Amino acid sequence: MHIAKQRGLPLLSIAIVLVMSLAGQRAAAQVPTPAHVIVVMEENHGYSEIIGSPDAPYINMLATQGASFTNSHAITHPSQPNYLALFSGSQQGITDDSCPHTFSTQNEESELLTAGKTFVGYSEGLPAVGSEVCTSGEYARKHVPWTDFSNDPSANNQPFTSFPTTNFANLPTVSWVIPDLLDDMHDGTISQGDTWLKNNLASYVTWAQTNNSLLIVTWDEDQGTSVNQIPTIFVGPMVKVGKYSEKINHYNVLRTIEDMYSLPHLGHSAAVKPITDVWQ
């Protein structure tokens, strides 16, 4: 009898592993695998300042064409810790907008590269490929988190002039697009940021509809309130159009991208759920 129990334990262990594996496969299946994802980060405006605003007609059109999250929140104030949170699952101990910083932990880019995927960050005003300068004109490194990680290749830190204008099939698996301080609504107006987004991403949005690709537009933080509610919009052919009221934050967005490509869960993204209800 005692021997039978001992022999049964490996079988039970195998069964548990199989059940957990199947559960993981079902969870991953709840999230699509886009050919390309572009993440655009805008600056310092809350949900009520953007959604419904006559100064943001293009962004509001995107909201009606995709999934608009009505209960999306940033992690903290000011800007830089939110960028780090969305990129690496952690604020990396940063509580301000100081520069420079160097980290060696895993992050969205390093995990994509390890998985055989690709990543490029495109920043408006970046003076040269791989530049680690803190500021240059209207460019601000504090909004470009991949520059802070020593395990991310400098060649993937590109000026926005390198962004494809027609052949979007050349895009990497995941891209981040960072407008400069005038065009991300930090120093410029809501209208200016909206126009920049339309002029520079509308062609991609159109192309994405027939090429299994996704655009994510979100904000680093709101205008400084304790609620810190921000707009977040997903647009692509795999998205079910509508408004979604579940509470999400930057970690949920990161977790969703990780699950799209079966990546490990970085930092706080491991403790939150992926977004699963917005997909066709």
Cβ(231)–Cβ(47) below 8 Å: yes
The first and second tokens of residue 151, run together, are: 């395990």
Strand partners, 140: 135
pLDDT score recorded for residue 263? 98
User: Each residue of 227-271: pLDDT tens digit?
Assistant: 999 999 999 999 999 999 999 999 999 999 999 999 999 999 999
At the fourth CATH level, which superfamily is domain 31-271? Alkaline Phosphatase, subunit A (3.40.720.10)
Residue 22 pLDDT > 90, yes or no?
Answer: no
Tokens representing 246 are: 């579940």
Looking at the predicted structure, is the pLDDT value of residue 63 above 70?
yes
- The shares of helix, strand and coil residues in the chain, as percent rounded to the nearest 5, are 40, 20, 40
pLDDT average, residue stretch 74-94: 98
The token duo for 6 is: 């001992």
Which residue, among 157, 174, 168, has the nearest Cα to 116 in the 3D structure?
Answer: 174
Q: How far apart are CA 109 and CA 105, in angstroms?
A: 11
Side-chain-side CA neighbours of 78 within 13 Å: the count stands at 7
What is the chain's Cα-based Rg?
A: 20
Residues in the chain: 280
Mapped onto helix, strand or coil, the DSSP state of residue 115 is coil
What does the pLDDT read at residue 217? Answer: 99
The residues spanned by each domain of the chain are 31-271
Range 143-163 average pLDDT: 98
Question: Own/partner pairs for 164-172, CB < 8 Å, 24+ apart?
Answer: 165/203, 166/203, 168/36, 168/203, 168/204, 168/207, 168/208, 168/211, 168/213, 169/211, 171/36, 171/38, 171/120, 171/213, 172/36, 172/117, 172/118, 172/119, 172/120
Cα–Cα dist 269/125, whole Å? 30
Largest CA distance in the chain: 78
Token duo for residue 29: 């299946």
* 251 residue type, one letter: Y
Is 5 a residue whose pLDDT tops 80?
no
State the pairing for strand pair 229-235/157-159.
Answer: unpaired
Give the separation between CA 175 and CA 109, rounded to whole angstroms: 9
Question: Taking all residues of the chain, what is their mean pLDDT, rounded to a whole number?
Answer: 93
Cα separation values, 113 from 29, 176, 201, 239, Å: 22, 15, 25, 26
Lowest mean pLDDT among 5-19, 35-49, 87-101, 217-231: 5-19
Q: Which pLDDT belongs to residue 10?
A: 54
Chain segment 96-115, per-residue pLDDT in tens: 999 999 999 999 999 999 99
